[in-house]
A and B are shown apart, each in its own frame.
Chain A
Amino acid sequence: MSAIIEARRLSRWYGQVTGILDLDLDIGPGVTGLLGPNGAGKSTLLSLITGQLPPSTGSLRVLGEHPWNNPRLMARIGYCSEIDAFYEEMNPVRFLSLLQRLAGVGRRAARLSAERALEIVEISHARDRKLGGFSKGMRQRVKLAQALVNDPDLLVLDEPLNGMDPVARAATVRLVRDLGRSGKHVLVSSHVLHEIEAMTTQVLLVHQGRILAEGDIREIRSLLRDHPHRVEIECSDPRGLAARLLAADHVLSMSLDGEAGKTGSLTITSRRPEELFEVVSRLVLEEKVEVRRLVSADDNLQAVFRYLVR
């Protein structure tokens, strides 16, 4: 199947600073995750794709067209920006209707589509309230609604889960997956690995303006499988836990922090963290060890990138 987004030797720099460098890219249909730490160039790439910036060099085609200064293409794209700004005095129906009418949709159709979009993002209950009084999570949902309101072929979502509560996050993840299933193309960016993992298996890893890896997220996971993970466990009996794990062959090192007595935390470096989690779960269930906190310090994207660029 042909690519939805094609970039050839695409670069964008701001004075001396490089945003995107010499990118060759083919993004296929369906949902694709754009992963990268802050400052990796994700937003620059999304700004180029949504026609807000022209490339410094190279070429970019979105749905077969050049995006810069191309209003016709904008009718097929829905963009949810990371910028948290609105016409604060408006209610969401009026805001979305205004954007639809600006695009040439009639008054009644604009209003109906606005109401439908708000229904999709489950915020109809606040349709008459001013945007200025919305919480961060509600504002995120309105931004998502304005991206959906024009029934786009391609949705470009820049960190859409930022500021959302867990319920809204789950609903948005479900929505993105459903949109993909219904034949829409979605490009969604995040710096949180598991957020993207929940939405799609197709990912693009961006780092310092370049594509570091692309493809199935499971392949990237398998790349990481042998990479030693650091896990921090805060529990009622860190010494007992350490003693139990001493013989496990996947454990490379352990260190005890906190009080020498019964409470404190244990930092473990394991080659196979899944096995470590299994042991901890068993101890919790069978021996009633109280685990207060369990953090996989290496499960964040920064760690993935540190490992991949090494």
Chain B
Amino acid sequence: MSQTQSLLVGCVRSKGRGLVSAAATVFTLFFPRTLRSGRTIFGVLLALTPLALVIFLGSVDTLPSQAPRGARLFEWLIGLYHLQFLCPFLGLLYGSHAVAEDIDGRTAVYLLTRPIPRSGLALGKWLVASACAALLVVASVVLTYVLLSRFEVGAGLSGQYSLLLKYCAVAGGGVVVYAAVFTALGAWVKRALLVGLVLTSIWEVVVANIPAPVQGATILFRCRVLLAALGVEPVVIGPKGRFLVEEIPGVGAALLPLGVVLVVAVGLSCLALHVRRYALEK
């Protein structure tokens, strides 16, 4: 009997925890795991693509005279590849799996039956997705800058750290917002990667480049506005080669719409974990 009374000696009960502490723990525990996942290999390949392009451009003997060079070439690369493609797709890659991987993989049962606030889980998972995606995007921007400034085609770029910093801030901030949107999508919708892919391709890539007021409802447009607010003319493809904005706002005003999208998306992720009946989906 004395043996049975001490059966679970050594097992430890927690006292439970608050939202922020829970989110921080989820981040600490799942960040290394996500960073080591197969998604990161794919993400790294996407992040390295502009470097291959820079090497190609640097090795070409003669470029057309009207082709951008130096800082403008850097802006073209970041504006057209990183902001328009890499940010939404890395946000989608990590965000759509953040909560969904535990639901689809049916490991959510372990998380939802632990003494941890469900909002803390959602918040922590979004932080993991954001950190992974932002790490790759910012690393790609910095490496593009470093590599380009070493070639003749990037002459004049060296030393323009303010420009680098601004692009890092906008690309990093943008991908965090995308990750929030796609984390929410993954928490609410099945096959979030597919839905997100369609959404990204149509909404963020096509609509954001249509010179009509509807482009204002895209995250890409808001990133470009932020870039303009920081004193950098954003690179835009499209019929007029520019985006529609009557007046360049201040940085705070430019950040506001992105902040609203971020807060709403993170809120929706938290709400999903509170109201969705994941146990029914097994």
Chain A residues close to B by CB (< 8 Å): 14, 47, 50-54, 69, 71-77, 79, 81, 83, 85-87, 98-105, 109-110, 112-113, 115-117, 119-120, 146, 148-152, 175, 178-179, 181-184
Contact = CB atoms under 8 A, between A and B. Distances in A.
B45 to A, nearest CB: 21
Interface of B: 1, 4-17, 21-22, 25-26, 28-29, 33, 105-107, 109-118, 274, 277-280, 282
Given A102-B29, A152-B13, A182 B115 contact: no
A181 B8 CA distance: 12
Closest 3 CB pairs of A and B: A116-B10, A75-B115, A52-B279
A136 to B, nearest CB: 15
Given A77-B113, A99-B110, 12 more contacts: A53-B277, A79-B109, A81-B113, A99-B114, A115-B10, A119-B10, A120-B11, A148-B8, A150-B14, A179-B8, A181-B4, A182-B5
Contact of B279 (A53, A76, A151): A53
Given A53-B279, A98-B29, A105 B14 contact: yes
Given A103-B114, A182-B7, A151 B13 contact: yes
A104 B115 contact: yes
B280 A71 contact: no
B115 A103 contact: yes
A100 B106 contact: no
Contacts of B111: 102
Nearest to B107: A85
Given A71-B117, A77-B113, A182-B7, A86 B107 contact: yes
Given A79-B113, A149-B11, A85 B105 contact: yes
25 contacts: A52-B112, A71-B117, A71-B118, A72-B115, A81-B109, A85-B105, A87-B107, A100-B12, A101-B29, A104-B15, A104-B17, A112-B10, A112-B12, A120-B7, A120-B11, A150-B11, A150-B12, A151-B8, A151-B12, A178-B4, A178-B7, A181-B4, A182-B5, A182-B7, A184-B8
A72 B114 CA distance: 9
B25 A101 contact: yes
A117 B29 contact: no
Contacts of A69: 118, 274
A116 B11 CA distance: 6
Contact of B10 (A14, A47, A113): A113
A102 B25 contact: yes
A196 B117 CA distance: 34
A145 to B, nearest CB: 9
A100 B17 CA distance: 12
A83 B11 contact: no
Contact of A146 (B10, B17, B29, B110): B110
A183 B280 CA distance: 32
Contacts of B13: 75-76, 150-152
Given A182-B4, A182-B8, A184-B8, A52 B14 contact: no
Nearest to B5: A182
